[in-house]
A and B are shown apart, each in its own frame.
Chain A
Amino acid sequence: SAVISQKPSRDICQRGTSLTIQCQVDSQVTMMFWYRQQPGQSLTLIATANQGSEATYESGFVIDKFPISRPNLTFSTLTVSNMSPEDSSIYLCSVGLAGPGGYTFGSGTRLTVV
């Protein structure tokens, strides 16, 4: 399985600012995904990060709020823009290898907006 490095592991940010989260994978992967986990809740898929094209967003998530980059097959970033306290969550990167098998998740970025 792939090994994921996600940075930062945690941050405290002022409302109205933006934070960019990085996801680095130790091997080339086709599929990369970004999730949000609000306090005490399950994981919610934000978007699929597509290499060479725009990300595909799930209902309720928009590019202006969560811009995503995927410059190559091993790296992606998620930006949380114009943050408010409601954006306080854990943000997780996930990757999947071709064929049936398990997805691997990063350890997450714990974001607190004050």
Chain B
Amino acid sequence: DAKTTQPTSMDCAEGRAANLPCNHSTISGNEYVYWYRQIHSQGPQYIIHGLKNNETNEMASLIITEDRKSSTLILPHATLRDTAVYYCIVSSNTGNQFYFGTGTSLTVIP
């Protein structure tokens, strides 16, 4: 079962930072936080993942709280193409199953 909770929907102005929160209060010590997004009618796309340190790549930044019970995905300069459903998932590694929660539907507004 999914171990994360996310807001159902969010809006963000184009060009502004989109901050998507995720609660995972029951996360275990060996579990990573993964973020994926799904653009309409496509398969989910990997964005970023982290264990306890903050992470940044060309797509986004991931901020994990010190107690690891929550995290925030940051899209620094949202574009219209970032409109998608964003999923936060916790899993120990790719040897284990991914269970998707309901995700956050992000709409980037011109």
Question: Number of B residues contacting the other chain (C-beta, 8 Å)?
Answer: 23
CA distance A68 to B87 in the complex (A): 26
- Give A47's nearest chain B residue, CB to CB: B97
Partner among B51, B94, B102 whose Cβ is within 8 Å of the Cβ of A103: B94
Distance in Å: Cβ of A45 to nearest Cβ of chain B: 6
A22: interface (CB < 8 Å): no
Q: Do residues A100 and B43 form an inter-chain contact, with CB atoms below 8 A?
A: no
CA distance A102 to B49 in the complex (A): 8
Distance in Å: Cβ of A76 to nearest Cβ of chain B: 15
CA distance A108 to B38 in the complex (A): 12
Q: Which A residues from 91 to 105 make CB contacts under 8 A with B?
A: 92, 94, 96-105
Question: Number of A residues contacting the other chain (C-beta, 8 Å)?
Answer: 28
Q: Do residues B97 and A33 form an inter-chain contact, with CB atoms below 8 A?
A: yes
Instruction: Give the chain B neighbours of A98 by CB distance below 8 A.
Output: 94-95
Q: Do residues A105 and B44 form an inter-chain contact, with CB atoms below 8 A?
A: yes
Please count the residue pairs between chain A and chain B whose beta carbons lie under 8 angstroms apart in the complex. Answer: 63
- Give B45's nearest chain A residue, CB to CB: A105
Interface of B is mostly: loop
Distance in Å: Cβ of A31 to nearest Cβ of chain B: 6
Instruction: Give the chain B neighbours of A72 by CB distance below 8 A.
Output: none
B interface residues with partner A (beta carbon < 8 Å): 32, 34, 36, 41-46, 49, 51, 85, 87, 93-95, 97-103
- 28 residue pairs of the A-B complex, CB under 8 angstroms, read A30-B95, A31-B95, A33-B97, A42-B100, A42-B101, A42-B102, A42-B103, A43-B87, A45-B98, A45-B99, A45-B100, A58-B97, A96-B95, A97-B94, A98-B94, A98-B95, A99-B93, A100-B51, A100-B93, A102-B46, A102-B94, A103-B34, A103-B94, A105-B44, A105-B45, A106-B43, A108-B41, A110-B41
Question: 7 shortest A-B CB distances, which residue pairs?
Answer: A96-B94, A102-B46, A105-B43, A43-B100, A100-B93, A42-B100, A105-B44
